[in-house]
Structure 1
Amino acid sequence: MTREAIYGFIAAEKTTYPVRLLCRVLQVSTSAFYDWIGRGRPVISEEDLADAYAANELHDAWAEHRRTYGARRLTAEIHDRGRVWNHKKVARLMTVAGIEGIHRRRHGKKRSRVGAGSVAPDLVGRQFVAEGPDQLWVADISYLRTWEGFLYLAVVLDACTRRVVGWAMADHLRRELVLDALGMALHQRKPAEGLIHHSDHGVQYTSIDFGRTLRTSGVVASMGSIGDAFDNAMAE
């Protein structure tokens, strides 16, 4: 992540959190951030600004459909929302927003996505309760718009304490993002075997690497159903 992206994130969030706290968490100098503000933020053209808002709207539609829609289905969805955008514009905005759909084979034998692991059963059943810490963690990915584009945030939340026990930020949606968040949680909490990690069916959480990390750490995977935000409501 570049310094400009970090400063852009701090500028966007400084009305919610203290600047000193954000700078400490993101490991940048407070004075350097204010120097960046003093030099003036990058000038954004009206076209780039319009693209940013359009990409944000497209990202919302994609997230509402569990991050599975590709260009064709997103084009149809955005038409239903009153936007007359053609397939080429939607594909371009998907690149801007870092959106990638899940592709399915039309013919032949079904195959898993490249690099995908197994899908776990729902062990939570919307009952986001735990008798003590480190018995149930819930996880999800969100995003924030910065001056340099979208910044993605992966979090791991303890169901008992409601505390964020692990998090990671990056300018991509690769599986490393959720692995870093999980790694922080495991390092900080050192949970006993049998802890349940609950998430949605995002490709990051169903990846082979993520599943292997859970198993080797003694963590049990759980996933809600596809297309229902209530199955991961606490993290959402």
Structure 2
Amino acid sequence: MKAESAVQRRLLDLAEVDAELGRVNHRRRTLPELAEISAAEQTTQAKRDALVAVETTLGDLDRDIRRQETEIEQVRAREDRDRKLMAGGSVGAKQLADLEHELATLQRRQGVLEDDQLELMERREAVEADTNHARAELDKALGALSDAQRRRDSALADLDSTDAKRSADRELMVKQFPADLLALYERVRAQRGIGAALLHARRCGACRIEIDRTAMSAIKAAAADEVLRCEECGAILVRTAESGL
């Protein structure tokens, strides 16, 4: 295949654009913010689960306290009723004795219930503190996640801008090449990652391997418009004044 040496040299510009586009795509896939976001999402979920757990415990305690209050109110109501019966003077001696016994039982029951209620309220106070701490921890985790997402979006916006600009440049550049040369370049790039590279100081700019003397002799003898390729990686070897031929 033949192509004017000036046209071949322009392949280096195209290769640089493609290299930059490749770096953009690599950068897009490997943004440190992506790993940071993944870790932050896991942390956030763990903090959310912890908050749900303490909120559930707090809800259970509130329900237990309300039930305890209801029982205490029922005991107090029963005690008031008995005291009114006793004060009314309309009960006999046996019923009076029964009422006195029941009052003593109710008082003991109320004491137990109030002790239990106090313990529940103390536990609730501790769990409420845990809940407030868990909420603060979740807010902190959400803030870290939001910050990482913001930085990711900013980085992606910059990369998208670069990608759009260089892709537009590439569309204009490819129109400058003969179809057969461009097809060869694209095929090699698809297979090897780099379609064309500078021959510099006996080394291929794509694979960085030094070209042996026999191959260098053939290169020196080749016509300027001959399209040459690296025997190692297949990239189009572009000769310029830097090639030292």
Bin for the TM-score computed over the shorter chain: under 0.3
Structure with a larger share of its residues in strand: 1
Structure with a larger share of its residues in helix: 2
TM-score, normalised by the number of residues in structure 2: 0.20
